[in-house]
Amino acid sequence: MGLTQCEHVPATPAAPLSDRCEECGSGHSLRLCATCGHVGCCESQRGHGRAHALEAGHPVILSLPLSARSFTWCYEHRGYVQSPAELGAPAAKG
């Protein structure tokens, strides 16, 4: 098993501040900044999620919509890492 345990990942990710990329308005393949809730598009679009992570020094992004299937990426670890505990259990919400 095993995704890297990443100390940058908060126990509870910030809530998304937008349902679109805050820079270009893209509405698909969005990335959430786990630190502050910034929403940006993925790297095969204009990469605003990545740009935010690097500029703001917020290393952890999650794929939207948030679910147990969301992936978590850390720009410090440069790889996929363990998702926040809150997302780990698929049936957490009732």
Question: Is residue 13 within 8 Å of 36, Cβ to Cβ?
Answer: no
Query: Minimum CB separation from Zn ion for residue 21, in Å?
Result: 3
Told to check if 46 binds Zn ion by CB under 5 A, we report: yes
Nearest in space to 6 (alpha carbons), one of 87, 79, 86: 79
Q: Which of 13, 30, 38, 83 binds Zn ion (CB under 5 A)?
A: 38
Interface positions with Zn ion (CB under 5 A): 6, 8, 21, 23-24, 26, 33, 35-36, 38, 41, 46, 48, 56, 58, 74, 76-77
